[in-house]
Chains A and B, each alone.
Chain A
């Protein structure tokens, strides 16, 4: 079981918006550690999507946005496209574990 909790799956119609939550605790996100998001397309390596909670990585469309509040973070994707179908992972650091931590991942399906 992951230290960061993500929904296993989300879905949305093409053109619509979805959000993916990432819930942590006072020893990671709530302790002011940054959250980063990664997109993993089928059969490929993960790719950095959002860093330091809200910043888009180079080349990432502005349809993707990140936010953080308290011990949770969220990834929002607007104007869903078929190419957005992928697994999405949040990542942070846990001071109690002295370890980098990932969420369990969320599979996005575009209907």
Chain B
């Protein structure tokens, strides 16, 4: 069965960095685009970034462009999100999701808290 497991969340100070990872299993990872979506506490869903199956095509939301970098390792079935220059407004649960033109599978999420 399809499984997505995020890791790497935690507490970080404003201006700091954090790297999130998503381990995928149960499907041919290299066949699918992958996406990061976040949800601030008590708020709605916000798309963050997606990466094509080959890793060649990458897109970011305006709110994170220039600070976040998405990457993938198809050999390790792994998706990453490098987050730099973090701000308080980046505080959220970060989900990785399989992108089938819709988001058909989601991980359980990992909480990132940006606070001094």
User: A residues near B, CB below 8 A?
Assistant: 2, 34, 36, 38, 44-48, 51-52, 57, 89, 91, 97-105
B35 within 8 A of partner (CB): yes
Q: How many A-B contacts at CB < 8 Å in the complex?
A: 51
The secondary-structure label for the interface of chain B is strand
Q: How large is the interface on B (under 10, 10 to 19, 20 to 34, 35 or more residues)?
A: 10 to 19
B46, CB-defined interface residue at 8 Å: yes
User: Which B residues are CB-close (under 8 A) to A89?
Assistant: 44-45
Top-10 shortest CB links A-B: A100-B47, A36-B102, A105-B44, A45-B106, A51-B102, A102-B45, A104-B44, A48-B104, A89-B45, A45-B108
CB atoms of B44 and A100 under 8 A apart:
no
**Minimum distance in angstroms from B59 CB to a CB of chain A:** 7
Considering the complex, give the chain B residue whose CB is closest to the CB of A44: B108
